[in-house]
Amino acid sequence: MLLSAWVSQHYEEEVAPVKWIAFVLELIATSSLLFLMLLTCTDVIGRYVFNNSLDAASELTEVAIAILVFAEMPVITWRGGHVVVDVLDNFLGSKIVKALGLLSILVMSSSLYYLAYRIFALGARSLRRSEESEFLAMPVGYIVQYIAIMSWITAATVVTYGIYRLFYPHQTQPFTEAS
């Protein structure tokens, strides 16, 4: 089976670029998770069988978790996979619910944008100072800037998903066929 046929079959997004972006981001997250599993197994075997653990295991775990979490944030956001509490929706009018939805979109996206801006600045400062990780001497700034870039992408998906939900409130996920 061709890769494009497999992606078309397993990803429900209708828009092709969104489908491929989701595939690539989930491939990055999956690879990171596989790496974490292999790293943990190697570290445990080294610790208990050879009485010698990997010195950089904790450092690599931190980096892999950052890659995993921030690669999945945009995908979860545009699929509407976040927890939503709608306890008051039945008591409030639809106009108030839409206004609160718009307000939440603005607050979340602007917060993510500002945090990403600050995180990117911290990453740039870290690169200017040549800060490196303890065991592997990896430049820390690149991982920090990756977190910022993925936060910017997530902010854009918050806006996209939020506007979509305002105009199509009965469809649960954007970029998919209406069921």
pLDDT single digits (tens) 55-113: 888 899 999 999 999 999 998 888 777 777 778 777 887 788 778 878 888 898 999 99
- What residues does each domain of the chain span? 4-8+12-167
Across the range 158-176, mean pLDDT stands at 70
pTM: 0.80
Count of C-beta atoms within a 10 Å radius of residue 41: 10
In the chain, the N- to C-terminal Cα span, in Å, equals 27
Burial of 33 (0-12, 13-18, 19+ CB in 10 A): middle
pLDDT for the residue numbered 169: 66
Take residue 110 and report the two structure tokens written for it: 């602007």
Categorize the per-residue pLDDT at 178 as very low, low, confident or very high, splitting at 50, 70 and 90. Answer: very low
Higher-scoring residue by pLDDT: 22, 139: 139
d(CA 87, CA 174): 23
Residues 175 and 99 sit within 8 Å (Cβ to Cβ): no
Diameter of the chain measured on Cα atoms: 65
d(CA 8, CA 42): 35
pLDDT digit string (tens) for 108-138?
899 999 999 999 999 999 999 999 988 888 9
d(CA 32, CA 71): 10
d(CA 158, CA 39): 33
Q: Please work out, in degrees rounded to the nearest 5, the angle formed at the alpha carbon of residue 136 by the alpha carbons of 130 and 139.
A: 25
Higher-scoring residue by pLDDT: 170, 87: 87
Q: Please work out, in degrees rounded to the nearest 5, the angle formed at the alpha carbon of residue 147 by the alpha carbons of 143 and 151.
A: 165
